[in-house]
Structure 1
Amino acid sequence: MPRWARTILCILLAEDSVVNQKVALYMLEKLSYRADIAANGHEVLAALSQRFYHVILMDVQMPEMDGIEATQRIRAEHPPDQQPWIIAMTAHTLQGDREWCLSAGMDDYIGKPARMGDLAEKLRHAATQKQCPPAARAKPVFRHSVRLPVRSSVRLLSALLRCNSRSPAPAPP
């Protein structure tokens, strides 16, 4: 069994969209991971002050403080050996967007909608780069439970179908 498969990663999902949170949490659960949630950069910094995270899946566009600013603050305020591996998880997928995220201090990049296999590979890579020891189980710092209206539930179902498929699912009504 590879070392990364035995590693428990403490993951923070930085994402403001409830639908995207649910899609990402679903994919992480299918990959046998769990994650805490932060809805903006301020919540990311607050979570890091309470707990160490091996990996942050960082949305770039969030309210109050975006993922770029949050990443730059993390890099400036935390010693290198206490910095998480930051993976941009963003809908910014035009030419140059990956380089923009990496130049801002992020370690890796995955475009939305993310594919399960791509996310698994990014997390395996993060585990090997961070040389993550098995993490102690701790209570989540942030836990959001949100009921979605019917229209959002249909969008969520469509997104879940897309993340497990190579062909696009039909757009929700």
Structure 2
Amino acid sequence: KYEVIGYKETHRLAQQPGSYTILIYKRPVVRNKEACSLSVSPAPDNVLDGCYADFSVIAGIMVDKAVYHLPLYRQHQRMLDSGVQVSRATLINWVKRGIELLTPIYQAMLKHILLSSILAMDEVPMKAGLKSKGKMKQTYFWPIYGEEDEIAFTWS
């Protein structure tokens, strides 16, 4: 009753340590001979709907930014050097959407830590924000440690 008449491909940019690659998901297009209809299996789910970047790229960008202090403009240059042309605005959007995905996890962790019977907390003053009259604003960074070896970082 059915015959494969073609394939649909879904391409996603992926990151491997030190390089980028394109993942190709090949899905058959099937024609039902009796009903004269076509069907194709859906593309695999992605962590961000409508995004052509694989989760490995988004996670890699966020880790490089947060852990290795590599600003997005440098990551953008590194991608250009590797032959990947993505705008800086797109990188910013990916990071923003990635943070939105992680926010409920962070909130649940912080809530669980605050239920601990013993808390450890440190206050780290730091200058941040926009300069006004040549000075940056005084801000504070508070790592909070719970009794089950959990850490949440708050900043204001």
Task: Specify if TM > 0.5.
Answer: no
Higher strand fraction: Structure 1 or Structure 2?
Answer: 2
Q: TM-score range by the shorter chain?
A: under 0.3
TM-score, with structure 2 as normaliser: 0.26
Question: Radius of gyration: which is bigger?
Answer: 2
Higher helix fraction: Structure 1 or Structure 2?
Answer: 1
